[in-house]
Amino acid sequence: MRTMKLSASHLEGVCELWNREIGSDFPLRSRLLYQNSLNHPDFLSEGSFVVEGTSSDYTVGVVISKVQQLGKGYISVLLVDSSYRNLGIGGTLLKLAEKAIKDAGVSSISLGGDSGHFFPGVPSQFMNVKRWLENRGFNQRGNTYDLLGDFRDKVIVEDDIGPEVRLSVAEEADLEDLLAFLNLYFPGRWEESTNRYVTSGGTGREFILMRKLGKIIGFCRINDEYSPILAGNQFWSPCFQERCGGIGPLGIAAPFRGNGYGKAILLAGMRVLQERNHHLMVIDWTSEVDFYAKTGFSIWKSYQLYAKEDYS
């Protein structure tokens, strides 16, 4: 077996490894793999490796690492072929990734949850690795969920929020104001992902904007297969035979919360997706299960958050 740094020539083999091991639950497309690894600005080449078997076209292990400018390290993917487990491959890949992240000046690691993540944490299906992770210094930090709503036979009716508030699909001319709004009220990941959307050619059709007296006070992102960047709520849409839309993130500026605006903009996003013939909808990476249950969403996938602090 050979261990090498991950490169574009390995992506086909990594995609095949992924799909034969976990593709029934998380079907991976080459577009998504490239988008969230080599083509992502946080990708850490020095901490991303593949292991090949006796045949150079058969990948048996992979680790993908990232480091954010804010000084956070991530293991985005760590996967070993089931026929090659208990041989130390996973432990070796983890040590290589940890060393590279440490050499980058970062002393903490999260499993998933990175910008351009594949998973927000460890999928609950893989909790057989819990002891393996804990033996290597990782601790569980909570739970999060992907939700699914089926609206094939439902009429979505928006809430009445009064004449001063207007909801509309964003246009390209609105994107500068949207970024300014996010910078003011939601700086960080949401602003970063929206800026990447804009620089990737986004036209605004993926955003519902809420304005009060002409000023943006809230937003809701809606995604489908035509979006320039595959969003988290679109990652696993190949699980379905029908087209599936995605909702989120969603945010209302702090001074305007408590008026039912969050539910109103959610319903508006759902209605637009339904008009675009997406009657199955996914909300990814949320703990707000009760809030979304009010509009017909329920838990689809579960994840456990794991992190390791000040490792040596």
| Confidence band, pLDDT 50/70/90 cuts, at residue 310 | confident
Do 154 and 56 fall within a single domain?
no
| pLDDT mean across residues, the chain | 94
For position 85, which CATH number holds?
A: 3.40.630.30
Does residue 131 form part of some domain? no
Per-position DSSP letters for 143-155, written without gaps between them: EEEEEEEE-TT--
Is 184 found in the same domain as 113?
no
- What are the tens digits of pLDDT across the range 31-90? 999 999 999 999 999 999 999 987 767 999 999 999 987 789 999 999 999 999 999 999
Query: Which residues form the domain of 231?
Result: 148-302
Cα–Cα distance measured from residue 110 to residue 73, given in angstroms and rounded to the nearest whole number: 6
Task: For residue 114, give the amino acid letter.
Answer: D
SS3 289: helix
Residues 193, 240, single domain; the answer is: yes
Query: Phi and psi at residue 302, in whole multiples of 5°?
Result: -125, 150
Please give the C-alpha separations between residue 79 and each of 49, 84, 142, 150, in angstroms, as whole numbers: 11, 11, 22, 31
Residue 88 shares a structural domain with residue 36 = yes
132 falls within a domain: no
- Name the domain boundary from 118, 138, 168: 118
Do 161 and 95 share a structural domain? no
Q: Is 127 part of a structural domain of the chain?
A: no
- Residues 108, 207, single domain; the answer is no
Residues 31 and 93 in one domain: yes
Residues 274 and 175 both lie in one domain? yes
Pairing between strand 139-150 and 49-52?
A: unpaired
Question: What tens digit of pLDDT does each residue of 267-282 get?
Answer: 999 999 999 999 999 9
Domain identity same for 153 and 257: yes
Q: Are residues 10 and 95 in the same domain?
A: yes
**Residue 135 — φ and ψ, nearest 5°?**
-65, -15
For 213-270, what is each residue's pLDDT tens digit? 999 999 999 999 999 999 999 999 999 999 999 999 999 999 999 999 999 999 999 9
Distances (CA, A) of 143 to 5, 151, 267, 291: 32, 26, 26, 16
Angle at 155 between CA 151 and CA 157, to 5 degrees: 115
Judge if 152 and 297 occupy the same domain.
yes
What 3-state class would DSSP assign to 209?
Answer: strand
The total number of structural domains in the chain stands at 2
Residue 275: inside a domain: yes
DSSP 280: E
Cα gap 170→203, rounded to integer Å: 8
Compute the C-alpha angle 264/148/125, nearest 5°: 145
Are both 199 and 269 inside the same structural domain? yes
Cβ(304)–Cβ(122) below 8 Å: yes
Burial annotation 43-65 (CB, 10 A radius, 16+ → b, else e): bbeebbbbbbbeeeeebbbbbbb
Is 309 inside any structural domain?
no
